[in-house]
Amino acid sequence: MMEDAASFSSRGLSESSQSRIARKRREKVEVFQEVLRRLRESNDEEANQPDFEDELWAHFTKLPLRYALDVNIERAQDVVMHKNLLQMAHYQNTRPAVEVRLVQIHRISDGNPGDSVHSNFSKKGGAQGTDHHGSMHPPPAFGLTPSTELALEANKLYVQDGNSAVSGNSLLFRSSYEITISTLDKPKLLTRLTSLISEIGLNIQEAHAFSTKDGYSLDVFVVDGWGNEETDQLRSALLKEISNMEELVKAGINFTTNQVDITSNGSEAWEIDAALLKYEYKIATGSTGDLYKGSFQSQEVAIKVLKAECLNEVVQKDFVQEVYILRKVRHKNVVQFIGACTKPPPLCIITEFMSGGSLYDFLHKTKGFFKLPSVLKVAIDVSKGMSYLHQNNIIHRDLKTANLLMDENQLVKVADFGVARVQVQSGVMTAETGTYRWMAPEVIGHRPYDRKADVFSFGIVLWELLTGKLPYEYLTPLQAAVAVVQKGLRPTPPTHTHPILVELLERCWQQDPCLRPEFSEILEILKYTTKKIVEEEKSSKRRSL
């Protein structure tokens, strides 16, 4: 696959990677022991219970490794609070479990990560009570991780150039709120929580999200924007909104008609009898559905099957919208729609099978990489598909390498329209969707957006193609999202890349959507760059003769 367009190698875990993992696991044990010691020295009543040590270790064990590495051990009592909230989440009458408290954060100034939270509340020094800067409240349970600080350091130029989402000279202490929520972990829970917090009028400054091995969530947000210092009022407002949200999520599809209602013109042309589908193997699994390789009437197809336990109104709406959009589009750089099963069970969408797999798998699983001519070819394919979609008033809303598929001829096509929408007359939308690492800041921030949100995502995809790296690879998706909005974080343009492409990257991920180019312009820039690079190579060869 891709022999003449790209080359790749399979690289296992290096010895250094293995030793790094082992070191982090040792650090986890050290954090556990230090938290336990601090709690016992403080005569914490719960810490003196006979089973507490085992319970505390179980708490660390069921959470991801990064929980232990990120938590502020100066605030050992916060670990107990997290443990108790997770226990409360196990019972329906105390779920969701919510804790709200005032905290003091130290904002980054002039793009200097040395002014971050951990600079003043380090894991080595004291942080209890009022600090030497006059802080009246404790620090958050988590602050900027070293990875975030490194990413922001690499991003200094954006702050200096005035492209940051925040003012470059915002060095000050400010009282904020730390919201900790624990409940059952469900598909799209994090998206719903961030949307809910935004709708209350709060601004997320920092965020940490964890899923436990037994199916619960622990999400911690540092926010501002609440009008007073009444934490009880904020907690009550959150509980009310979360309760309303969970009632909506519980709502299921009404199957009394035994068919999902899709406005159709001649649905008999694309409605497929599920009995005619043959399944071969599972390609991928997602939060609301599974993707299979199969066949339909001797044709190789991809079958996207929605999980029965996830069939609520939101999932049904996305299914209807995806079928509606796929039916109306036909372009060589957009995956071809074959048909759908709208008579559950199962609900499924059938498209052409793309034997080359996704660009994400090629780059990050097989560790493949593209040479520059191939990067340009792929980017042109994507731009053609996206230009066609935008000309038909369709916003993809989840453009990323996982949704860009290759066929046997190395042609790249845009796929997965599960969250795509037809742009309404006003031209703007406000619901958050997409995937955080590729998401435009206006979408993350729940502000009105239009098709230029796809252009931002394309800029991240182009950077990924040029570097072969995962965007913001040292950050969690949520940490990356907060830094993109609040700190103006962007990937560092790769060195030794053609200046035209560097300029295109920076235009695509401009903070102001109006400054981003249309895909029609992007396409012309990529074609011009391809021609220019060929001419430069020919000129270089002539000079070497």
Q: Angle between the 452-467 and 372-391 helix axes, to the nearest 10 degrees?
A: 170
| Structure tokens, 387 | 């230009």
| Structure tokens, 160 | 């200096």
**Gap between the Cα atoms of 193 and 183, Å rounded:** 11
Helices (H) and strands (E) in the chain, counts: 17, 16
Please indicate whether residue 232 is annotated as part of the active site: no
Q: Which amino acid appears at position 503 of this protein?
A: E
Q: How far is CA 252 from CA 6, 47, 308, 354, in A?
A: 46, 43, 10, 32
Annotate 450-519 with DSSP letters as a single string: -THHHHHHHHHHHHHHHH-PPTTTTS-HHHHHHHHHHS---PPPPTT--HHHHHHHHHHT-SSGGGSPPH
**Gap between the Cα atoms of 347 and 341, Å rounded:** 5
**By three-state DSSP, how is residue 510 classified?**
coil
* 178: phi then psi, degrees, rounded to nearest 5: -105, 120
Task: Exactly one of 70, 318, 398, 454 is catalytic; name it.
Answer: 398
Q: What is the largest distance, in Å, between two alpha-carbon atoms of the chain?
A: 82
**Gap between the Cα atoms of 357 and 334, Å rounded:** 14
Residue 102's nearest CA partner among 139, 131, 142 is 139
Residue 108's nearest CA partner among 95, 122, 118 is 118
Residue 54 neighbours by CB under 8 Å, 6+ apart: none
State whether the Cα torsion 314-315-319-322 is positive or negative. positive
Which residues are part of the catalytic machinery?
398
